[in-house]
Structure 1
Amino acid sequence: MLSLPAVLLLAAVLATLWTAWRSWALAPFPGQFDFVAMQLSASWWATAAAIEIIIPAPADKLFWAEMAWLGIVGAPSYWALFLWSYTREELPSRWRLVPAVVGAATWVASLTNDSHGLMYTAVQPISDAPGAALEYSHGLLFFVVTIYLYAFMVMSIVVTANGVHRATPAYRTHYLGFLVAMAVPWVANVGYVTGNLTLFDFDPTPFSFLLMGAVFYWLITQQRLFDLLPVARDALLDAVPDPVLVLDADGTVVEANAAAQALVRDGGPLGHRLAELPGLCDLSFGTSAALPVPLTLECDGGLRSFEATRVALTSGNRGGGRSAPREVGCLLMLRDVTHRRRAEKRLEDTIRRLNLARLEAEERLVAEQEAKRALNGFLSMTAHEFKTPLAIIDGAAQILQMDAEVKAPGMLPRLEKIRRAVRRQVNILETCLADDRLNDPAFALRRDPLDLPALLRAAAAAQCDAAPGRRIELDLKDCPAGLTGDGPMLELCVHNLLNNALKYSPAGTPVRLRAWIEDDTGGQSRVALSVADQGIGIPAEEVERVFDRFFRATNTGAAAGSGVGLNMVRRIAALHGGTVTVDSRLGEGSVFTMRMPLGREALCEKGMADMSAK
């Protein structure tokens, strides 16, 4: 017969089925299938219990009590799986087989209880009244299944209690709601199994599960439990060092990590619309929501720069079935870029200063080049102007020297000193003029057949005349008889090498001039010319720079020189297709070696266009 307990149960079943339908229509959330399966299992259980109450015959009551086991096993099992998926991580779908298999096996065992008696050992009405409730004596399988169900219930309590500990204050009430809702079926089932609690002489557990579904429905609709990100992700928000805010569809801040709460004074941002928050109210993403938006906020007494990024939070089906995607809120991430902006500003200032310095250096370089061109022009003009009076002086000295051989022999040393001084000045002028010619892009080498031994002897004799008492040793036994090249330029090279050797070596030591033929790596013959001295040598760290223009070694002291001669030797050797090297040891002397191809075809065709004058 229809009674108050049956009516209440059936009404609760209808409410639970409606809640299950509403839960399934929500945006996908972790454990959604398990949550709906728990509600359907509880509805099955409560429906079977209601029919058991309504039907008067004891045999029919027993049948529906046995039918209820599918829901009895499924409700707490799916509930435990839901809590684990929601508070920790989504469980693989194979875990759903556990309550399904255990529930089906228990259901079959209960329906076949007459053949084995493992579920109920005895069943009898509690009174003689028509439709009286049944009293069950439980068998071994009943207690095994009960232990299985209690294990799932204990797991639910442990998982939920751990969630209370980890949850932020804004969502801690959700977990407390879990615990309160779970306590109802737990207390009801323990009371029924121990015989201390019944409802209208029936098991109150189905009522408790339906009540738990009602509590969750309230949490879902009133506390918006599943509208945005799952509660379990709060710990991740708090671990992010940059400010993160979660906004609902109306622009209200429903969650914020510690860094975001520190941005807003006077109570924090929770519960306020974004448009009401100082500094954040001006934030506008427009049509470029995916791009970072610059933002400046006053924090801790100073201005800090942020880049705000908006990430839409949408709800929709995962498999293309129930509902179209819709935006339910957004995630607002503020990345602190204060240090980067300051570094960028310092970099911009540095680049600006470097550009100004570069422009200033370029202006100075242009001025220096103009001054150098003016100086070279002056030196060239001076050299040309000095050559004429020096020639006149040398000619007059020669005449006086011839006259003094007869009339005044005592004047010969003085006249010779005058002529040496004139020759030294002429050599300096020739070097300056040669350097000026080498700097002319139109300059081209002469290609004359040269008597190399005669050229070397003449240069050695001239240097000996300019340095009386000094000795130059010639080793020309392997010297080639002829060479194609620019005679004046090559003679100038020999003069410079001999002059340096005599200038930087002691008076009592000889300078050795040697020439020979050698083969290069390609099997081509070339002439090698070396000048060796026993002088002061060159510091090891300066050897590589000795051929640079205007460079003079640090140990040259007060010896006269311009740093042009050796650079000119290198350039003339390069024009002839050759090289010049130096092997020097500090305090022991130096050996300069110039190597040039013997053939006419090795001469450079481009003049000085490709030769650096550094």
Structure 2
Amino acid sequence: MKSNFLNALSECVKIDVGIPAVQVAIATFLVVSALAFWSRTQISLPGNRWFTYSTLAMLWWLAAVGIELSVSALPCKVALSQIAWLGIILLPTFWCFFLYEYAFSKKVPLGLVWIGAAFLPSVFLALVMTNAFHGQLYGAGTRLIDDGIKSYTFFDHGPLFFILISYIYLIIVGTCAVAGGALLKASPAVRSFFVKLFMTTIIPVTANILYVFYGVSLFRTDPTPFSFAASLTLVVWLIVSDRWVDVRAISRDLLFYTSPDLVFVIDVDGTLLETNLAAKAFLRSQQSDGGSLSALKSIGPVFASLTMTAKLPDILEVQNGDHHYVARAYPISWGEGQTLLGWTVAFVDVTMQKRYAARAMTAERVQAQFLATVSHELRTPLTVINGALGLLNIHPSKLTAEKSTHLISLALKNSAILAKLVNDLLDMQKLESSEFTLNLEICDVSDIISGAVASMETFKYKGNVKLRFDRKPSGVMILADKIRMHQVVVNVISNAIKFSEENSVVEVCMNAEGDTVQITVKDTGRGIPAGSEEKVFGQFLQVDGSDDKDVYGSGLGMHISRQILSQHGGTIGYASELGVGTLFTITLPIKSDAASGA
């Protein structure tokens, strides 16, 4: 025997399509069918499958509502109302899933899908379809009411109805939370899009609240399915009209809002209409809260020129603190030859370009200095070596033993100068390419100084310049690369000898104080002019850069020494007085835990 539900369906044989409400339902059904077909083709749309499922649930609901409105038998109306619950339960669930994936570009968790789209709807639908046995959805008071125009159904809502409504409202609250969360997190470039997303979600919520709590109906039936259809249609319209997911439109907004350049939109009178985020931050830094843009210190003249002459000033580059900008202005009008409405003014940040240009110029200058220095420093010793060897080769029999010894000495001395130049260049290349490594060990500072002084005893760059170092058994220990530290001390001592007068003394001293040790090298030479530190420690630079100087070198020794000391945690500096001499001071940290055991 057929169940009550199937008996009720068997009575739904006469459908009256002349009823306005039915015609609206049919029209809405056709619209949603078109939406369902369209959504299936939008594979790249985030949440595409849930949007499609929403339209299918909507079609189910509309079909049930439309047929219910068109029939007159009460059992048939109740049966169709029960059938509609499948769409009623699933539609808000699918819509919530769609908004989640669309707004956050993340898949809905699988567990939530099984609970929200399969398990709970199955349980609720089983309870709805068995209402004839328990009567908890629609009670015995469900009846037809004839108001003289058309009969409609009064449903006697039981506890199950309110449980289902509560469940649906729980989903709706979650949906609003998803839409609202997306709105709060949205960047300014897409915020208007998420406002529309939130508003379309509110439409069916509002319609349902008005129906359930205030009895507002459409053709004496629940307006919620029609309002959901309106929301779905709005979504599609906004997508098709490039307002939501058009990458070009969003990218244009992103360019405006996220550009690091300052962008201002002003009218013809110079009144500020809109800014991007960078311009807003700039105005805050200038403590400008809507005052005249022309009064701003750095960029104000650009706005003043536009409002008074409709042209940019002759000087387009402006500076504000450490930043440099180049002004660009684009007129706003309805078309060519039309009345000017305002300007879009952009200040392009060219700070990095100027820094790179300055670096390039510095690199070019250093390269030119390098070529000039190397060619000059190579030419002098090579000329001496070539001349000495030439004389030894051409007239060996005519040269006295003393003369031959002198020529050989000249060749050896200038060969050492060439070797020093080549070594300096190699060290400089290693320092710049991060290939310069240190072999650190515990060293006695006094041993390093003694070794450097001993190696310089034979350095006879100038006549009768003596070295003085009173070695004291100090036991002052440092953690250092012994070879590199020897190189540093030799560089400083050789520098002092080269710039000392004949018959003078270069004094080398060591003094431990606190947790540092100082190595000083003092000469009585010509001294260093004030403000020459960059030349003393620079690359390929010498204090005396003239062609007739009497002291030659790569101009790298002191620069390399500073770099080596920096890697040891040490420093080098000098104090000098013209005509009196120079005192170089090397400072290094003492290895305290090794000193006690030395």
How high is the TM-score relative to the length of structure 2?
Answer: 0.49
Larger-gyration structure (1/2)? 1
How high is the TM-score relative to the length of structure 1?
Answer: 0.48
